[in-house]
Amino acid sequence: MLTIIKNRVTQLVVVLFILSLFTFTLMKMAPGDPVLTILNADEMVVTEEDQAELRNKLGFDQPLYVQYGKWMFNLMQLDLGKSYMSGKPVIEELLTRIPITAELTFFAMTIMLCITVPLGVWSAKYVNKWPDQFSRFLALIGASIPNFWLGLILIYLFAFKLGVLPSSGIGSYSQIILPAFTLGFTFAVVYARLLRAGLLQSLSEDYIYAARARGVKEWRILWLHAFRTAVLPVLTIFGLSLGSFLGGAVVVEILFSWPGLGSLAVDAIFNRDYPVIQGYVLLTGVFVVLTNLLVDLSYYVIDPRMKRKEEAL
C-alpha cells in the first residue's frame, strides 16, 4: 500500500510541476506589461525610472529561471501575489470564494447521485425494457444539451413562469436547487449509463451466479455483491471529468449570479487581473489532481484484490 501511495505521489509531483511551468509560461506570454498595469500607466505619467525601480523590485530584470524559482518559492508559501484590482492577496480572494463554489458543487453532486444511482440500477435491472430505453434517451439529451441553456430554460420556467424558485443569488436552500440541478443533471444521466454498464458487467460475474445459487437475497446481491465493482468505472470517469464539472460550475455561477470561484475567474479575465487568474488555474489544477489521486486510492478500498495484486508484483 505504501509503495502505491509513493508512486502516485511521485506522479502527482510531476504533474504539478508541469502545471506550474504551464501557468508561469502563460503568465509571461500574456500581452501587456504588468509593470505598466500596476503603475496604472493609462491614467498617470510614469517615468522610466519608476518603471525600472518596480521592475527591479518585482525581479523582472532577472533571467527567467531565476524568476521561476522565486515564483515557485513564493508559491510554496501560498503567496500568489496581489490582485491588481482589489489589491488584496490572491490567496485571500480565493479563500473567500471557495466555500460558495464548494456549496454549489456539493449540492450538484448530491443531486447527481440521487439521479445516477436509481437510474443506473433501474436500467440495469430492466435491461432493454422501457426504463433502460428511457435512461438511454435521457443520456443522449444530457450529452447534447448545453448546460447553461438548460439553466436558462429552468430559470424561465420555475422563476418567471411558475414563480416558485428564485432565479439567482445565494443564501437560502431554494436558491440552491436550480443551479445544483443544472450542474448535476447533464452529468447524472451520462454517469447513469456508465453505472448500468458496470452493473451488467459485474452481474454477469461467476460469483454473482454462485451467490444466487446460495439463495442470497436479490437486494443483497445487487447492493453488496455487484454494486461495488460496478462503481469503479463510474469513479474513474468521475475523477477524469471533475474538471468539466468545475468548468460547468463556472458557467452555472455566472448564470445564477453566484459569487464563487468561477465568477471570480471570469471577472479577472475581463479585468486582466493575471495573479487572480493564475491563482484560480493553479487551485483548480491542484484540486483536480488531488481528487484523481483519491479516486485511484479508493480503488484499493473498493476492490482489495487490486491491492494484493500490485503488492505481489
Could you tell me the smallest distance in angstroms from the CB atom of residue 113 to another protein?
Answer: 21
Alpha carbon distance 151, 161 (integer Å): 14
Contact 112, 187 (CB under 8 A): yes
Q: Looking at beta carbons only, is 39 or 142 nearer to another protein?
A: 142
Q: Looking at beta carbons only, is 147 or 175 nearer to another protein?
A: 147
Q: Which residues of 29-45 are buried (b: 16+ CB within 10 A; e: fewer)?
A: eeeeebbeeebeeeeee
Residue 84 engages another protein in binding (rule: CB under 8 A): no
Alpha carbon distance 152, 167 (integer Å): 9
Contacts with another protein in 45-74 (CB under 8 A)? none
- Distance of alpha carbon 248 from the chain centroid: 8
Residue 180 engages another protein in binding (rule: CB under 8 A): no
CA atoms within 13 A on the CB side of 35: 16
- 3-state secondary structure (DSSP) of residue 286: helix
Residue 302 engages another protein in binding (rule: CB under 8 A): yes
Could you tell me the smallest distance in angstroms from the CB atom of residue 265 to another protein?
Answer: 6
- 3-state secondary structure (DSSP) of residue 89: strand
Could you tell me the smallest distance in angstroms from the CB atom of residue 149 to another protein?
Answer: 4
Could you tell me the smallest distance in angstroms from the CB atom of residue 266 to another protein?
Answer: 6
Residue 269 engages another protein in binding (rule: CB under 8 A): yes
Select the span of 42-50, 58-66, 71-79, 267-275 touching another protein (CB under 8 A): 267-275
Select the span of 15-23, 33-41, 79-87, 102-110 touching another protein (CB under 8 A): 15-23
Could you tell me the smallest distance in angstroms from the CB atom of residue 41 to another protein?
Answer: 18
Secondary-structure breakdown of the chain: helix, strand, coil percentages, each rounded to the nearest 5: 80, 0, 20
Q: Looking at beta carbons only, is 89 or 243 nearer to another protein?
A: 243
Contacts with another protein in 144-163 (CB under 8 A)? 144-149, 152-153, 156, 160
Contacts with another protein in 28-47 (CB under 8 A)? 29-31
Q: Tell me which of 83, 101, 116, 292 binds another protein, using CB under 8 A.
A: 292
Residue 9 engages another protein in binding (rule: CB under 8 A): no
Could you tell me the smallest distance in angstroms from the CB atom of residue 49 to another protein?
Answer: 28
Per DSSP (E only), the strands in the chain are none
Terminal Cα-to-Cα distance of the chain (whole angstroms): 12
C-alpha cell at 232: 469503479
Contacts with another protein in 118-137 (CB under 8 A)? 127-128, 132-133, 136
Select the span of 75-83, 85-93, 107-115, 288-296 touching another protein (CB under 8 A): 288-296
**Angle at the Cα of 170 from the Cα atoms of 167 and 171, rounded to 5 degrees:** 125
Angle between helices 90-125 and 261-271 (to 10 degrees): 130
Alpha carbon distance 25, 278 (integer Å): 11
Distance (Å) of CA 312 to CA 182, 305, 308: 45, 11, 6
Contacts with another protein in 194-253 (CB under 8 A)? 200, 204-218, 220, 224-225, 228-229, 240, 242-244, 246-248, 250-251
Contacts with another protein in 89-108 (CB under 8 A)? none
Q: Tell me which of 227, 256, 280, 299 binds another protein, using CB under 8 A.
A: 280
